Amino acid sequence: MQSPARYADVIIDLEAEYEFWEIYETQFQRLPGGGLTLAWLACLKIYSAKLNYPRDTPEQTLARVLFGKNMSSSRKDELGQLHRLISRRMDLLARRAARAKA
């Protein structure tokens, strides 16, 4: 299980994150769910859930993001992919914050 303090020193600059994902889309691949314009609300919910509930498992975090019980399985898959991308990004930001603090 991840440490509750894992993201304690992470500061999310939403403008910088939006720019990061814009560059990600142009240089690598389109974000799941129809690209950044359509995925940004889900991105914000994932960032919020990960910061506010650091003890949650990935499944619990994803459950906080799902927008209702009648969501299609393909949309759930897209949100799962987006969750994995953002989790990797936040892990990187947490490692950078830990190095800067040390």
Amino acid at position 24, single letter: Y
Residue 38 is predicted with a pLDDT of 83
CA distances to 6, 57, 86, 93 from 89, rounded to whole Å, are 13, 16, 5, 6
pLDDT single digits (tens) 16-47: 999 999 999 999 999 998 889 888 888 888 88
| The pLDDT value given to residue 1 | 41
Half-sphere exposure (CA, 13 Å, Cβ side) for 36? 13
What pLDDT does 68 receive?
66
